[in-house]
């Protein structure tokens, strides 16, 4: 056991922050024992707040059309090798109906940045869902919009919004995105979302190309200050039809460690064991939960379109039905002593 790292983990838990140089030390010298130590503490913190309950969210990937060209992402506009699809309002409602029957009480509507759904279209879909299922939360994950649009979504009843910041380092952001995209606008979006009262999620890919320990330290410091209600952390996985096709995938172990450190820094945070974590390792979602995660987001999209929402290669569940994923998650959680909870699963203030 590295005693210095152990005391840094203790300090993070007690004070909810550590200094920049301390982050650098911890992230560049951690051992497997340090990870185990952090995971045990993180799981104890999560258990003390959320008990043995794991929240599930049904993700409806309603369009893979995207105007952007992020270098890492399989549904980037420049990828001509995929078949594009857009679900209609009725198709989205059908996914939610099935999801409700499976016990989902949060629906996550996710898409590329697809301008063919107007602000009004999105608001109509959100308010339809809220009208039919008043006991459910709606999360949007549809990218960068104006403050006015975010306000309209909120007024229509949306509860939460996911928008990973991707990196807190502006120079690093430029290496992951073309010039048309700006880190400053990303940050503006996150501030607006929080001010408008959304439960707001940010997050990163672990091991994204050109990411350094310095970048991750900045990410953790940013999240410690921003205090998101949700954090999405998964490993970077290359996609064969993107500029980053030959880049190495991120570290599974570092992803688990960062989940634990996030839990210690922000004890109440809603922290998913992500699909990317389940893709890089078949036990990823279980080990993610055991490292401090408390949310799983199975797919509710129609099976026919799933293969076209490939953000990275080999994404799991693309051949499965919603019913299969629901059952699969329940069984996986029970095997490690946790249970799936049928509630909205809100952030506990």
**Interface positions with ligand 5AD (CB under 6 A):** 72-73, 164, 166, 205, 234, 236-237, 239, 276, 311-312
Stretch (H or E) spanning 340? strand 339-341
Kindly state the smallest distance separating residue 300's Cβ from ligand FES, in Å: 11
- Cα–Cα distance for residue pair 142/152, rounded to 1 Å: 14
Task: Return the residue of 317, 338, 340, 345 that touches ligand FES, per CB under 6 A.
Answer: 317
Kindly state the smallest distance separating residue 309's Cβ from ligand 5AD, in Å: 10
Cα distances from 187 to residues 150, 181, 258, in angstroms, run 14, 12, 21
- Cα–Cα distance for residue pair 295/288, rounded to 1 Å: 9
Nearer to ligand FES, 139 or 301 (CB): 301
Cα distances from 225 to residues 17, 191, 218, 266, in angstroms, run 9, 12, 11, 10
Q: Are 54 and 339 in contact (CB under 8 A)?
A: yes
Distance from CA of residue 35 to its chain's centroid? 21
- Cα–Cα distance for residue pair 291/271, rounded to 1 Å: 10
- Report the length, in residues, of the chain: 349
SS3 299: strand
Q: Considering CB distances under 5 to 8 angstroms, the limit depending on partner class, which of ligand 5AD, ligand FES, none binds residue 325?
A: ligand FES
Sketch the per residue contact string, 250 through 289, with ligand FES: x for CB under 6 A, - otherwise: ----------------------------------------
Q: Considering CB distances under 5 to 8 angstroms, the limit depending on partner class, which of ligand 5AD, ligand FES, none binds residue 269?
A: none
Kindly state the smallest distance separating residue 341's Cβ from ligand 5AD, in Å: 24
Residue 122 sits in the site that holds ligand FES (CB under 6 A) = no
Nearer to ligand FES, 70 or 325 (CB): 325
Q: Considering CB distances under 5 to 8 angstroms, the limit depending on partner class, which of ligand FES, ligand 5AD, none binds residue 320?
A: ligand FES
Q: Considering CB distances under 5 to 8 angstroms, the limit depending on partner class, which of ligand FES, ligand 5AD, none binds residue 153?
A: none
Q: Considering CB distances under 5 to 8 angstroms, the limit depending on partner class, which of ligand 5AD, ligand FES, none binds residue 164?
A: ligand 5AD
DSSP 308: T
Which residues pair with residue 340 across a beta bridge?
Answer: 54
Kindly state the smallest distance separating residue 108's Cβ from ligand 5AD, in Å: 10
Residue nearest to ligand FES as judged by C-beta position: 328
Q: Considering CB distances under 5 to 8 angstroms, the limit depending on partner class, which of ligand 5AD, ligand FES, none binds residue 72?
A: ligand 5AD
Residue 168 sits in the site that holds ligand FES (CB under 6 A) = no
Task: Return the residue of 77, 98, 324, 342 that touches ligand FES, per CB under 6 A.
Answer: 324
Interstrand relation of 58-63 and 106-111 (parallel, antiparallel or unpaired): parallel
Task: Return the residue of 54, 325, 333, 340 that touches ligand FES, per CB under 6 A.
Answer: 325
58-63: strand order across its sheet: 58-63, 106-111, 137-141, 160-162, 199-206, 230-235
Q: Considering CB distances under 5 to 8 angstroms, the limit depending on partner class, which of ligand 5AD, ligand FES, none binds residue 107?
A: none
Q: Are 139 and 228 in contact (CB under 8 A)?
A: no
Which residues pair with residue 63 across a beta bridge?
Answer: 86, 111
- Cα–Cα distance for residue pair 165/15, rounded to 1 Å: 24
Nearer to ligand 5AD, 25 or 64 (CB): 64
């Amino acid at each position: 056991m590295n005693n210095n790292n152990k005391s840094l983990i203790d300090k993070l838990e007690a004070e909810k922050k550590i200094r920049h140089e301390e982050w650098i030390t911890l992230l560049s010298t951690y051992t497997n024992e340090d990870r185990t130590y952090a995971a045990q503490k993180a799981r104890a913190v999560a258990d003390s707040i959320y008990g043995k309950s794991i929240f599930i969210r049904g993700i409806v990937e309603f369009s893979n059309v995207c105007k952007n060209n992020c270098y890492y992402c399989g549904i980037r506009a420049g990828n001509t090798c995929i078949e594009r699809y857009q679900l209609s309002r009725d198709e989205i409602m059908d996914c939610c109906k099935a999801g409700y029957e499976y016990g989902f009480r949060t629906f996550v509507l996710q898409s590329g940045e697809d301008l063919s759904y107007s602000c009004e279209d999105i608001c109509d879909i959100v308010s339809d869902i809220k009208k039919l299922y008043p006991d459910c939360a709606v999360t949007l994950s549809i990218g960068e919009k104006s403050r006015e649009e975010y306000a309209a979504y909120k007024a229509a009843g949306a509860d939460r919004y996911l928008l990973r910041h991707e990196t807190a380092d502006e120079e690093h952001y430029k290496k992951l995105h073309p010039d048309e995209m700006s880190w400053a606008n990303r940050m503006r979006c996150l501030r607006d979302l929080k001010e408008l009262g959304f439960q707001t999620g940010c997050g990163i890919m672990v091991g994204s190309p050109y990411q350094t320990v310095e970048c991750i330290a900045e990410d953790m410091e940013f999240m410690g200050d921003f205090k998101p209600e949700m954090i999405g952390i998964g490993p970077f996985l290359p996609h064969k039809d993107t500029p980053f096709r030959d880049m190495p995938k991120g570290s599974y172990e570092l992803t688990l460690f960062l989940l634990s450190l996030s839990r210690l820094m922000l004890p109440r945070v809603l922290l998913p064991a992500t699909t990317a974590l389940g893709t890089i390792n078949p036990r990823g979602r279980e080990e993610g939960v055991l490292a401090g995660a408390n949310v799983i987001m199975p797919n509710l999209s129609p099976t026919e379109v799933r293969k076209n929402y490939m953000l990275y290669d080999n994404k799991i569940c693309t051949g499965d039905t919603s019913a299969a994923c629901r059952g699969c998650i329940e069984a996986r959680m029970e095997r490690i002593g946790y249970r799936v909870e049928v509630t909205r699963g809100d952030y506990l203030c």
